[in-house]
Structure 1
Amino acid sequence: MYLDTKRRTKNSKLFTHFYKKSSIYIICVAVLFIAVGFLTTVSPAYRVSSNTITDWTGDLDSSLFLYLMGMENKAFRDALPEDEPSPEVSNMLFEMATNIRPSDTRSLLGQELPGFLTFQNEIIVAGEGTDYTNLPVESSPPLEEVLRDRDAVIDENEGEDLEQQEGESQQDTGERDVVFIYNTHNRESFLPHLPDADSPDDAQHGEVNIGKVSQRFADALEANGIGTEVDQTDIMSVLKEQGMAYHESYQASRNVVQEAFTSSEDIQYSFDLHRDAIARDKTTKEINGKNYARVMFVVGAEYADHDKNLELANKLHQMIQEEYPGLSRGVIKKKGSGSNGVYNQDLSPNAMLIEFGGVDNTLEELYRSADAVAEVFSDHYWDAEKVNTN
């Protein structure tokens, strides 16, 4: 009797223990399924993202994923070239654990040496003198310094007069504005026009800034018959009003670009104009006895279909090289830490970011470049229109 009671008590305890553990397992599995369901159905804007995981998977060879899926489904192996060697799992695990690629020294030094993260960007087309030591730098000065009042000196007659194309053959977009120009870092200015500033971070002004180059660019496009809208929103003031930081500038300007594309079906191209912070000798080119502020095309690499934006940037670079050799510094792709990686270019395959000159260039030099780029782009635009018409 005693033994039976003891045995029943023991079995009861085992059953209770098993029941509790089973309940915990079932609850954990249920929570897991609910979490997975939530993450896969929630709107993309509210999904949890991780830059670390993005960097891990972004740096891995895409053939690795095909190989792993091919282990379960042989159909995926057909997508791999016949001579493609099997990926080394040990290298993959090492890369994911350390974020260091044995074949790329930059992945190690970029985390240890200040400024070396620039080398994770990719030069697609190198213009004259362009290498990894003189790529555009995304500085993040304190917002209060950007908004600080400074004296500026400017000659209102600076720059050559625009030549208006005339004749019966002059093409025109009519009342349609097909180009939209804006400035994310709208207060970027130029040291020759700021007598009290001597540092690139101090080259900021509320009126004498990259916005004047945007207006000149627009005027030059209009002179070539291309209707253009220029947005002069003070993005820096928007940041202050909304309690945002300088590195959130592209988030603030995104609203401006989205509104432009939404409000007008005519807009086909957008240009975000910036100025670089590197020295004058890298941003100036003498052509036919006149100094020009050099330009560089920047394409983000952290959004789908950026190859289309890259194709347009490459095309414009080549056309500039033909007409104004040395004016373009080239085309680069930017991604990863220290860069935005998107630059609002995901909103249109014809969205461009162009660095015009640097902190040491004058408005006269910048206006010449704006005229030159507008001339080249106009040729591209009208050639494309002929193709579309035919």
Structure 2
Amino acid sequence: MKQITQQKYPSLFHEIFSRYLFLLVLVYGLAVLIVAGQVKIGFIDDTLQKVDLPAEILLPETFGNENALFSHAILPKDRPRSIYPLMLEAMTNLRFDDIRSLFGSELPGFTIYNAKIFSAGKGLNYMNLPQDSPPPPQMNLPAPKPAAPAKKQANPNPQTNPMKKMVFLYHTHSWESYKPALAGQSNASGAVSADPGLDVIHDGTVIGQELAANGIGYVHDMSNKNVMLQQRGWNYNEAYQYSRIITQAAMKQNPGMTYLIDIHRDSSAGSITTLSLNHVSYARISFIIGEDNPNYSANLYLAKQIKSLLDQRYPGLVLGIIGKTKYSGDGVYNQDLSKNALLIEVGGVDNTLAEVDCSSKAFADALSAYIKKSNH
């Protein structure tokens, strides 16, 4: 009897230890899965964003689960991707159709190409993506003399339009300008100005006037960001932080103002940023989406809707919709403040103000049409 009792204790200890070890492994495994899921959730969201199956593919694929004959209606090239490559990409973060995922973090300077083209217009590729302009050579830039007399603005004070404010126009890099507007300027890095009639503030003025003509109220921030940053002792890299402050203040004063448009100028050459359509020259427009914003899909939806409206009337005007993370830009661009926030690039350093005006009016018309449709 004593011998039997002695044999029970090692067996009981072994059973308790086995259960404890099993629970420990289970908890550790769940923790790994949760962490991995958090890391890869961005990839899963990106993959779902790319899913765009037309009805002629989706319906046969769905009914094909019940009747194999339907599956034969789908061409091999149109079939949805297998789940196994998607699982492998989710675990390794390697995308076999994009070599950048393999070498992007290893090659110096390669991260500037770590952007995503959600929608590409004619001529857009990873070699000519819109890039942030370099910081101005000095603060408090003097206003250079214009190459031609600036046209008198019909509405010199756009902030006073009486309609309900729905759109906020602002410029994080207000100094960005255009070489043809600056007398004697041939260097792209020198296409900067503190004159609101020559820099991108001019673009916002034209957009605002067109919005008002379409019955859309707006507020236009025309502040010189060079001066504002200098007064705070901030540098170029903190420009978006300052824009966030003025944007939040504007939204607080106008609770119904949810369309936030940050207007920039691309640093690309005119061969990429210029469009001739029906004998009229335009500065092409790009949309930049901050992918580090957890809810960027809503901003992407707005960009696609505006692009669709522009494509109908001005085919080719939109250069593309580009997504950027903190590795290729700011990453958020204050677009987390509203689902209707956008960053647009109106033309490049080589575009004329006349081309910019045509594109600014076109964008304002498309935005007005979208707002009116959304409010009905």
TM-score (norm. length: structure 2):
0.71
Preserved contact between residue 192 and residue 360 of structure 1 (Cα < 8 Å):
yes
Cα 1:246/1:213, change in 2 over 3 Å: same
The alpha-carbon deviation at position 57 of structure 1 amounts to 2.8
Distance 1:159 1:283, change over 3 A: farther
Kindly state the Cα deviation for residue 379 of structure 1 after the two structures are TM-superposed. 1.4
- Pair 1:148 & 2:130 matched: no
Is residue 311 from structure 1 mapped to residue 301 from structure 2 by the alignment? yes
Cα deviation, residue 265, structure 1: 1.4
Task: Note if 1:57 corresponds to 2:57.
Answer: no
Unpaired segments ≥5 residues, structure 1: 1-52, 64-82, 163-172
Alignment of 1:4-15 (within 5 A): none
With over 3 angstroms needed to count, the CA separation of the structure-2 counterparts of 1:363 and 1:87, relative to structure 1, is: closer
Query: Do the aligned partners of 2:144 and 2:182 also contact (CA within 8 Å) in 1?
Result: yes
User: Could you give the per-residue CA deviations for residues 301-352 of structure 1, whole angstroms, max 9, x where no partner exists?
Assistant: 0012110010000010011011101111121111132310100100000011
AA in 2 matched with 1:152: K
When residues 220 and 107 of structure 1 are mapped into structure 2, their CA distance, relative to the original with a 3 A threshold, is same
Shift of 1:217: 0.5
What is the letter of the counterpart of residue 191 of structure 1?
K
Return closer, same or farther for 1:223/1:276 CA change in 2, 3 Å cut-off.
Answer: same
For the aligned residues, what is the CA RMSD?
3.0
The residue number in structure 1 matching 2:123 is 129
User: Contact 1:182 / 1:272 at 8 angstroms: preserved in 2?
Assistant: yes
Retained in 2: the 8 A contact 1:126–1:331? yes
SS in 1 for 2:168: strand
Please state how far the C-alpha of 1:154 moved relative to its aligned partner: 4.6
Answering whether residue 220 of structure 2 is matched by residue 235 of structure 1, we say: no
How far off its partner does 1:385 sit?
1.7
Residue correspondence of structure 1 range 180-195 to structure 2 within 5 A: 180-195=168-183
1:140, 1:247 within 8 Å by CA — same for their partners in 2?
A: no
Counterpart of 2:169, as a letter, is I
Tell me which residue corresponds to 1:12. none
Deviations 1:224-271 (A, max 9, x none): 111111111222222212222212110111101000111111313111
For residues 209-220 of structure 1, the aligned pairs below 5 Å read 209-220=199-210
Mind listing any 5+ residue stretches in structure 2 that lack a counterpart?
1-34, 46-81, 156-160
Distance 1:322 1:202, change over 3 A: same
Cα distance 1:61–1:372, how it changes in 2: closer, same or farther (>3 A)?
closer
Q: Give the distance between the partners of 1:380 and 1:278, measured in 2 at CA.
A: 28
Alignment partner of 1:202 out of 169, 174, 190: 190
Deviations 1:261-295 (A, max 9, x none): 11111313111000000100100101110100010
1:258 maps to what in 2?
248
SS of the aligned residue for 1:145 comes to coil
TM-score, length of structure 1 as denominator length: 0.69
Identity %: 33
**Cα–Cα, structure 1 residues 146 and 61, in superposed 2: closer, same or farther, change >3 Å?**
same
